[in-house]
Amino acid sequence: MATVLAFDVYGTLIDTHGVVAELEERLPADGPEGLAQEFSRRWRERQLEYSFRRGLMGAWVDFSECTRAALEFTDRALQTWLSETDKEHLMSLYARLPAFAEVKQALEQLREAGVTCVAFSNGGFAAVDGLLVQAGIRHYFHDIISVEEVKRFKPDPAVYALLRTRLEVASGDCWLISSNPFDVIGARHAGLHAVWVRRSLDAPFDPWGIEPDMTVANLVELAECLN
Amino acid sequence: MATVLAFDVYGTLIDTHGVVAELEERLPADGPEGLAQEFSRRWRERQLEYSFRRGLMGAWVDFSECTRAALEFTDRALQTWLSETDKEHLMSLYARLPAFAEVKQALEQLREAGVTCVAFSNGGFAAVDGLLVQAGIRHYFHDIISVEEVKRFKPDPAVYALLRTRLEVASGDCWLISSNPFDVIGARHAGLHAVWVRRSLDAPFDPWGIEPDMTVANLVELAECLN
């Protein structure tokens, strides 16, 4: 049975910090240097925290609600006082974030090598489908598997079990590809293989004693390793 | 049946940023301004994130392991290269963090008013007991209830159910007192009353549509509200 690569979406294929240019236009011009980067970073961190906490509470909502509440929180915490129009605009941008620069080339190489790729995301099916379409990479994916089918969030073991069920493969044949250490650790804990895409040298891997099977700097490096 | 106040410990009774002075001595002197505060803040945030993720993964460990791994992560992320001796020292400090300035007076007032107080923490029983003893406030608490009894972490509904079971009160008679919005939201979601101690004006409450029953600036204000 062929190996299947399950790609995380936000942060791995798609750049969640693709909102920085728009933030720079909309945040107060007299704010501290690097405010847009700081806003983007804290927005993303809080979005993930909200998904972890909602998962733990058994109070699942669509991921976009975590994104929206995290935007609101960050705006209040940084006292940037964005207008409702600006917030709606930023949310709509989240539906058309760009792919990382090397993604298309890597997916092309994997297709040529005959590797089956699926997208596997905390995002809802429609949101992920739309995101991949607008980034021009939807056709590289055999399927989209969204946590909304089980109403849990990564790194709950139930979502990795969903992935295995949907792919109907033994766990050894399915590899998670993610830039998010929490996702890599969650997958390894659930018995999957996992590759860490180390997109930033600033972010160390969590020292839990659970390591990725492989670490790559980007997806072209991954495709080349598999050839 | 009398009302019981269940106090969160870390951040509510005990100041988790009581390590800043020691950090200032041990971190590189040529680091950026405010590095010790930044280190303390990120250490605490990561400790909580680790507890949320471990709870979600069903991979509970004692809270001190989350604290230790978060210290290691923060040291690597900020590239502060603390020695193993320094890290051990910081961990031992975590066992004797100070209470916030007004805590003793507030607990005295509550005792005089005949209110029953318990400590209710993500920390292990022995760690919390030791922390309250060294802060000189252990004798104000009728009991210590630790999540280690159920091997989950706040805000998992199971830990609030444990609190109710241990107190043998209907949920309406038990109030959680916490400075941590995740704890207040978790308790409210599980059907308890909850007071938010807003120790910092910089940290807004999470905009989830789940509000505290009451907000106070500190515990003396709480004691006065109850009188």
- Which chain A positions have a beta carbon within 8 Å of B153's beta carbon? 56
Looking at residue B150, what is its pLDDT? 97
DSSP codes, A54-112: HHHHT----HHHHHHHHHHHHHHHTT----HHHHHHHHHHGGGPPBPTTHHHHHHHHHH
Residues of B engaging A, defined by a Cβ cutoff of 8 Å: 49-50, 52-53, 55-59, 69, 72-73, 76-77, 153, 155-157, 182, 185-186, 189, 202-204, 206-208
Looking at residue A178, what is its pLDDT? 98
Looking at residue B169, what is its pLDDT? 73
Looking at residue A1, what is its pLDDT? 42
- Every domain of chain B and the residues it spans: 4-15+97-226, 20-96
Q: Mapping DSSP to helix (H, G, I), strand (E, B) and coil, where does residue B204 land?
A: coil
Looking at residue A149, what is its pLDDT? 97
SS3 content of chain B, % helix, strand, coil (to 5): 50, 15, 35
Are A189 and B156 an interchain contact pair (Cβ–Cβ within 8 Å)?
no
The per-residue pLDDT of chain A, averaged, comes to 95
CA–CA distance, A120 with A178 (Å, rounded to integer): 10
Residues of A engaging B, defined by a Cβ cutoff of 8 Å: 49-50, 52-53, 55-59, 69, 72-73, 76-77, 153, 155-157, 182, 185-186, 189, 202-204, 206-208
Q: Mapping DSSP to helix (H, G, I), strand (E, B) and coil, where does residue A33 land?
A: coil
Lowest mean pLDDT among A163-167, A195-199, B130-134: A163-167
From the number of C-beta atoms within 10 Å of its C-beta (0-12, 13-18, 19+), residue A64 rates as: middle
DSSP codes, B136-185: T-GGG-SEEEEGGGTT--TTSHHHHHHHHHHHT--GGGEEEEES-HHHHH
Looking at the structure, give the CATH architecture of the domain made up of residues B20-96: Orthogonal Bundle (1.10)
Residue A227: CB atoms within 10 Å? 10
DSSP codes, B83-94: -HHHHHHHHHHG
Looking at residue A2, what is its pLDDT? 58
User: In this predicted model, what pLDDT tens digit does every residue of B42-74 receive, in sequence order?
Assistant: 999 999 999 999 999 999 999 999 999 999 999
Catalytic residues of A: 8
Q: Which of B8, B15, B156, B183 is catalytic?
A: B8
Taking 60 as the threshold, does the pLDDT of residue A214 lie above it?
Answer: yes
Q: Per-residue pLDDT averaged across A48-56, rounded?
A: 98
- Do strands B214-216 and A116-121 pair parallel, antiparallel, or not at all (unpaired)? unpaired
Question: What tokens appear for A50 in the block?
Answer: 């909200």
Mutate which of A44, A45, A47, A56 to test chain B, going by most B C-beta atoms within 10 A?
Answer: A56
Looking at residue A170, what is its pLDDT? 66
User: What's the length of chain A?
Assistant: 227
Reported confidence tier of residue A28, pLDDT bands at 50, 70, 90: confident
Mutate which of B52, B73, B74, B80 to test chain A, going by most A C-beta atoms within 10 A?
Answer: B52
Nearest residue of A to residue B79, measured between CA atoms:
A202
- Amino acid, single-letter form, for residue A23: L
- Which chain B positions have a beta carbon within 8 Å of A184's beta carbon? none
Q: Per-residue pLDDT averaged across A182-195, rounded?
A: 96
Reported confidence tier of residue A24, pLDDT bands at 50, 70, 90: very high
A59 Cβ neighbours under 8 A, 6+ residues apart: B189
**Dihedral over Cα of A199, A46, A123, B47: its sign:** positive
How far lies B8's CA from each of A92, A98, A173, A175, A201, in Å? 39, 42, 45, 40, 36
Cβ pairs A/B, distance under 8 A = 69
Looking at residue B171, what is its pLDDT? 58
Crossing angle of helices A35-57/B181-189, nearest 10°? 30
Looking at residue A173, what is its pLDDT? 83
- Which chain A positions have a beta carbon within 8 Å of B49's beta carbon? 49, 52
Residues of chain B with pLDDT under 70: 1-2, 170-172
CA–CA distance, B79 with A202 (Å, rounded to integer): 9
Crossing angle of helices B181-189/B157-167, nearest 10°? 70
Task: Identify whether the C-beta of residue A5 lies closer than 8 Å to the C-beta of residue A175.
Answer: yes
Whole-angstrom distance between the N-terminal and C-terminal Cα of chain B?
A: 17
B33 Cβ neighbours under 8 A, 6+ residues apart: none
CA–CA distance, B218 with B225 (Å, rounded to integer): 11
Task: Identify the CATH class of A20-95.
Answer: mainly alpha
Taking 80 as the threshold, does the pLDDT of residue A172 lie above it?
Answer: no
Distance of CA B87 to the CA centre of its chain: 21
Lowest mean pLDDT among A108-117, A123-132, A160-169: A160-169
List the single residue in A72, A204, A207 with the smallest CB-CB distance to B207: A72
User: Which residues, in sequence order, are bridge partners of residue A194?
Assistant: A176
List the single residue in A52, A69, A156 with the smallest CB-CB distance to B208: A69
B15 part of the active site: no
Looking at residue B172, what is its pLDDT? 61
Nearest Cα neighbor of B97 from B14, B12, B7 is B14
- Phi, psi torsion values for A196, nearest 5 degrees: -95, 120
Looking at residue A29, what is its pLDDT? 84
Task: Identify the CATH class of B4-15+97-226.
Answer: alpha beta
Task: Identify whether the C-beta of residue B8 lies closer than 8 Å to the C-beta of residue B185.
Answer: no
User: What's the length of chain B?
Assistant: 227
- Amino acid, single-letter form, for residue B215: T
Question: What tokens appear for B224 in the block?
Answer: 């006065």
Task: Identify whether the C-beta of residue B178 lies closer than 8 Å to the C-beta of residue B160.
Answer: no
Are B76 and A182 an interchain contact pair (Cβ–Cβ within 8 Å)?
no
